[in-house]
Structure 1
Amino acid sequence: MRTMAGIAATAAATGGALLLAAPVASAEGGAICGAEAKACVSLSGQQAWLMNGGGATYGGVPITSGKPGYETPTGSFTVTYKDIDHYSQAYNGPMPYSVFFTTSGVAFHQGSLSVQSHGCIHLSPEAARVFYDSLKPGDVVQVVP
């Protein structure tokens, strides 16, 4: 089974995208997200994957997540809705390719990979488009520490 370090090294060597047949695994060798997850986020590894049946189909791609005081919640969620051109009234800024997965407004979206968010998962422009095109309402998103 692949470790997070091995996955990260391979992803770095391939420009950030990686297709895997094996489950995304922790350093200890256990799967970090369940077979029901369509998206998996590792906050400690600052990476995300699209999943099918417990195996990664896209990723790991680099992310940034919530800054202190705005931590990204962990747990299992479902995609609630998508908005290709969302604008945050609360934080006065664009959130292209938004895929919302909490009732508190946390989403995957295109954003800076050099700054932390207000709880959302920032993705590169390419990854944001792929996540937007791949996920649909009702899909399970798992966010692990």
Structure 2
Amino acid sequence: MSTNRITRFPRPAVLVALVTTAIALIGVGTALAATPAAQAFHEQPLVPGTPCTVTANACVDLDSKQSWLFEGGKITHGPVPVAIGGPGKETPVGHSLRVYRKEELHRSGEYTATNGEPAPMPWSVFFQDGGIAFHEGRVDTPSAGCVRLTKENAMTWYNNLEVGDQVQVVSAAAVHAARG
């Protein structure tokens, strides 16, 4: 016995309404997912003289190319000059990044030194996926996304930051514009 089936397609207006609703729900989900961290950042007071909040342990301002260490919402070191990522290799922005690993004598798995060996990244404090870290290096040329510090400052960041500590990488201009 054969059954004739008629396939019905939704009317264009119904289809448009379904697609619009789906896009709206995706947008709401994305907005809700991003809201808690961004809202928490905007609700916390800034450490005076910096673009980062009192919850941070380390702060990087991409605009001034400076970094600070905080304890209890007060500056303990800094500001110090840093190198940040250049075009196409920008240092990632984040309000609630976390230190997840430290290596005193790390060598890059991505870049090589002039002798062909993996590039040294002494005093590495990793805080973002993709191997993004604070580490010793030149502060007068762009990095490949890491935050480079002088040897003395890299050692200080390494000795003062612990796994789990919060790192904020921000644009001071954007922070101040968002806060009015």
Place the TM-score, normalised by the shorter chain, in its bin.
0.7 to 0.9
Compute the TM-score of the two structures, normalised by the length of structure 2.
Answer: 0.64
Residue 86 to residue 24, structure 1, CA distance change in 2 (3 Å): farther
* Cα shift at 1:103: 1.6
As a proportion of its length, which structure holds more helix?
A: 2
- Distance in structure 2 (CA, Å) of the matches to 1:56 and 1:24: 9
Is contact 1:33–1:54 with CA below 8 Å preserved after alignment?
A: no
Letter paired with 1:91: Y
AA in 1 matched with 2:142: Q
Runs of 4+ in 1 over 2 A off after TM superposition: 22-25
Q: What is the root-mean-square deviation in Å for CA atoms of aligned residues?
A: 1.3
Structure-1 residue corresponding to 2:98: 78
Aligned match for 2:47, one of 2, 23, 30: 23
Residue 136 of structure 1 corresponds to: 162
Aligned to 1:46: 65
Structure 1 position 56 matched with structure 2 position 80: no
Paired position in structure 1 for 2:35: none
Max Rg structure: 2
CA distance in structure 1 between the aligned counterparts of 2:147 and 2:122, rounded to whole angstroms:
12
Counterparts of 2:75 and 2:66 in 1: how far apart (Å)?
12
Closer, same or farther: CA 71–56 of 1 in aligned 2, 3 Å: same
Residue aligning to 2:56: 37
Question: What residue number does 1:107 align with?
Answer: 133
Which of 84, 108, 114 in structure 2 is aligned with 1:65? Answer: 84
What percentage of aligned pairs have identical amino acids?
A: 45
Displacement of 1:43 after TM fit?
Answer: 0.6
5+ unaligned residues in a row in structure 1: which ranges?
Answer: 1-21, 26-30
After TM superposition, give the deviation of residue 23 of structure 1 in Å: 2.5
TM-score scaled by length of structure 1? 0.79
Q: 5+ residue gaps in structure 2?
A: 1-45, 113-118, 172-180
| Count of aligned pairs | 119
Q: 1:73-119, CA deviations, whole angstroms, 9 ceiling, x for partnerless residues?
A: 11120000000000002012000000000122100000101111000
**Quick one: distance in 1 between partners of 2:145 and 2:122?**
15
